[in-house]
Amino acid sequence: MNRAFASKFAKSVFLVICGLVILMGIGSRLFTHIDLALYGYMIGTVVFICGFFYRFIAWGERPPAKIILKKGIKLLFRKSTPKTATEHLVTHRFIWNRGWYRWTQHVLLGWGCILSAFVTFPLVFGWMYFTMGENGTYTVVGFGIDIMRIKADGLLGFLFYNALNITAFMVIGGVCMALYRRLKNMQAIAEQTLIYDFLPLYMLLLVSITGLMLTFCNIFLHGYGHPVITLIHQWSVIVTLIYVPFGKLAHIPFRPMSVFARNYREHYAEQATKNCKVCGNGFVSVEQSNDVIAVLKVNEIEFKTEEGYHLAELCLPCRRKYRMSRFTGIPTHQIRVKEANQNAKG
């Protein structure tokens, strides 16, 4: 079968799209509940999936990523995995250490995008739809199975109808906080660029505002301008979906890989600690140090000192001092004294 495809990437994408079509057939009861008004979103989502696979496979082929994926999968069933996954994917506790403002910003942006995807993808692929029942009730159908009945004028009904409006306000709030920080924070101003940092925020803002305008047209304008806003919103969503795998927003679907990295660091840190060749202090696990050396060797990069040890065998302060000695000619890296700012924050 491998000979039928130009590459492993082509084979993987083909199998995923086939699986997606099968799930669409099952979920929509043999394509009888596909909403043709969402056809453009469907095409954009398929292109997004192909782009994501291309980006993921290209990333996974790199030697460092191969190590993280290979060893991370083996460590997936650690006792700490549920806690790590919760902190990294649900509560974003790792960002709380940077301040409540950035934490709130990331939670609004991250969960706004994720919840929007949880709502739109099932609707676009026909995995979830609603049927009108008697006495003002709706039946929620998922994968062809009647899941629940809700009152049209009840609280659940209100949340179902306005789920995307709620997530749109979350995204707008997160985007505004991010823009304010990028315009006021000196470090952000020095590091940011228009295309890489601002463009994704503008795209999310356009998607959210045009989505809210659809509801505004229906409720307050009695449908006036709805067709035009529909096309603008659909265009903005499709362009954003196609852009996601190749821009800064790709870290949203890539975020689960951080659980692998955290498990990798914690597990091997418990095994054996690597001592610095200069100062003798432990700074990283033996496994991680050996993996860094192996990865650099694969890339034909050697960072050996005149004393015969690898830079990956030095702690960060001693590594900095070694680089300074190479510029100045003074062997400062041999001095067994820690730098004064080794625990500096900022």
Tell me how far apart the alpha carbons of residues 236 and 331 are, in angstroms, rounded to a whole number: 57
Residue 343 pLDDT greater than 50, yes or no: no
Write down the pLDDT at residue 266.
87
Q: In this prediction, what percent of the chain has a pLDDT beyond 90?
A: 16
CA distances from 120 to 113, 143, 163, 180, 333 (A): 10, 15, 10, 29, 56
Residue 1's pLDDT band, with cuts at 50, 70 and 90, is low
Q: In this prediction, what percent of the chain has a pLDDT beyond 70?
A: 95
What pLDDT, in 10s, does the model give residues 121-167? 888 888 888 888 777 788 888 888 888 888 888 888 888 888 999 99
Higher pLDDT, 61 or 332: 61
229: three-class secondary structure by DSSP: helix
pTM (two decimals): 0.80
Residue 248 pLDDT greater than 50, yes or no: yes
Write down the pLDDT at residue 342.
47
What average pLDDT does this structure show over 67-71?
88
Residue 335's pLDDT band, with cuts at 50, 70 and 90, is low
Return the percent helix, strand and coil in the chain, to nearest 5.
70, 10, 25
Residue 183 pLDDT greater than 90, yes or no: no
What pLDDT, in 10s, does the model give residues 186-200? 777 777 887 888 888
210: three-class secondary structure by DSSP: helix
> Per DSSP, what are the bridge partners of residue 129?
141
Tell me how far apart the alpha carbons of residues 237 and 248 are, in angstroms, rounded to a whole number: 16
Mean pLDDT of the chain: 84
**Among 333, 331, 309, which Cα is nearest to 320's?**
333
Q: Is 27 exposed, middle or buried (0-12, 13-18, 19+ CB in 10 A)?
A: buried
DSSP state of 14: H
User: Two tokens at 96?
Assistant: 């709380």
* Structural domains of the chain ordered from first start: 2-258 (1.20.950), 272-334 (no CATH)
Write down the pLDDT at residue 255.
86
